[in-house]
Structure 1
């Protein structure tokens, strides 16, 4: 029998194989206290998430109902260039706001930003703790500060008070907006050039006026970000090039989108 791994709370993960059109597909089955079903493909392979007590037969029926999509996505990912997996090594580079950030390692427990000899930014990561986790925390802190300023700017253009802002690790969305909880932006946007980040911010801020994707909504987006069509296409291409930080959740770039 497959080994079941207990996760936070009552969530469980186990390996499972489903045969689709004669092809054996290895996937990870995740059961948790959720209400919906979800199927995704990312750098780790195929994953299906279901409510905790879902019978296995029902899980397999759900996977088979999306079998063609699943096989196509697995084939496309196999044919695509490998997504770079970032390692916290001396001299490694990670994109930050579209420019390379050089990583440096140092003994100790603190993380420090500094300017390198070539004028570029460097991030000193401590080796006394997990440097990958330190990198993740540093990037997320930088992301929150940057995104906050951009949300305030676009809200100001519409004459609105900035709503609460939180970071997201969603697997299929760059951002979301709720009248109750405010705006959420994926922290990995911090890898991208500022112009692409601004498109996602403008998209979510526009939802403060129009909680839909009607022509009125896109008119607000165009008012905030006239070149949104080109930015949306560039965003889809950029998603496939972003590095994966091993200790961080990563979305399937093939399904990522600003739309929510």
Structure 2
């Protein structure tokens, strides 16, 4: 979800937890377009967005802009400025209670190109996610550490076998195996690899930083790549196994750094950089690679 800047919520004092979101750059939820943002200049998209449902606690409104009608949910709050948030449900406007509807609609009109562009981007993502990502049969391919791995059935001796050199995963299943069986075996293998590899990387970077974590586990979270609580418990999204090792290392370094700084302050990012100097490139990769484009497993 792309949002205008908002204050970070206060964490519980006894057991704080900081998350690395799936959608936004850590420490920022800004949705204001940069000079190079797709919607800042150029012609507006020809295809109108689908009207969203109003989220709880909001009022659904519409605004005619030229030949198009823009639907949006309006929320009132104590914030000082008008905020724009776009996700798969559409546009949500959060405005101060004292701002008039006319002022809100003027602000929408001024940002219309960016708004329509982002709405179309989200609609496209939803459509892509709805398409079958993997045909679960002999010869299917899945991404593993940034490279495609080809799945073959009928492994000899009835044992699962993986060849990193050939990018091949052999499953001890018959050629006529049910797609769900194939999917379950591949996902089980990927999660097993994630558990093993993430543990290895945590040990390496914990030693570099001189910290100890209490425990770690895999997660299937839909909204974050990782999290770290103040009592030393770390959770890492198993789907990171799809990415190159450098991306995994960034998330590991990010979460371990929270054991030093439970915030996203400049000191926190200096801590991350001290053990993973290339964090900016990895952070941008995660920011620009939304989870909808990962294989639907």
Which interval holds the TM-score relative to the shorter structure?
Answer: 0.5 to 0.7
Residues 230, 68 of structure 1: CA spacing in aligned structure 2 closer, same or farther, 3 A cutoff? closer
Does residue 236 in structure 1 map to residue 236 in structure 2? no
Per the TM alignment, residue 136 of structure 1 is displaced from its structure 2 partner at its CA by 1.4
In structure 2, stretches of 5+ residues that fail to align are 1-48, 61-71, 76-83, 92-117
Per the TM alignment, residue 24 of structure 1 is displaced from its structure 2 partner at its CA by 4.3
Give distance in 2, aligned partners of 1:137 and 1:59. Answer: 40
SS at match of 2:231: coil
Does residue 149 in structure 1 map to residue 200 in structure 2? yes
Per the TM alignment, residue 226 of structure 1 is displaced from its structure 2 partner at its CA by 0.8
- The aligned counterpart of 1:71 is 90
Contact 1:152-1:162 at 8 Å conserved across structures: no
- The aligned counterpart of 2:36 is none
Per the TM alignment, residue 237 of structure 1 is displaced from its structure 2 partner at its CA by 2.7
- More displaced 10-residue stretch of structure 1: 162-171 or 151-160: 162-171
Give distance in 1, aligned partners of 2:50 and 2:146. Answer: 39
Does residue 94 in structure 1 map to residue 145 in structure 2? no
Give distance in 2, aligned partners of 1:107 and 1:230. Answer: 39
Give distance in 2, aligned partners of 1:220 and 1:82. Answer: 37
Residues 211, 111 of structure 1: CA spacing in aligned structure 2 closer, same or farther, 3 A cutoff? farther
**Aligned pair count?**
193
TM-score by length of 2: 0.56
Larger Rg: 2
1:144-191 residue CA offsets vs partner (Å, 9 max, x unmatched): 100000000000012222431101111111100012361101000000
- The aligned counterpart of 1:122 is 169
Give distance in 1, aligned partners of 2:261 and 2:58. Answer: 38
The CA RMSD measured in Å over matched residues stands at 3.2
Contact 1:164-1:182 at 8 Å conserved across structures: yes
Residues 107, 148 of structure 1: CA spacing in aligned structure 2 closer, same or farther, 3 A cutoff? closer
Residues 161, 68 of structure 1: CA spacing in aligned structure 2 closer, same or farther, 3 A cutoff? closer
Higher relative contact order (CA 8 A, sep 6+): 2
Give distance in 1, aligned partners of 2:257 and 2:247. Answer: 16
Residues 115, 223 of structure 1: CA spacing in aligned structure 2 closer, same or farther, 3 A cutoff? same
Per the TM alignment, residue 61 of structure 1 is displaced from its structure 2 partner at its CA by 5.5
TM-score by length of 1: 0.64
Does residue 113 in structure 1 map to residue 161 in structure 2? yes
Select the structure that is richer in strand: 1
Residues 99, 107 of structure 1: CA spacing in aligned structure 2 closer, same or farther, 3 A cutoff? closer
Give distance in 2, aligned partners of 1:125 and 1:167. Answer: 25
SS at match of 1:104: strand
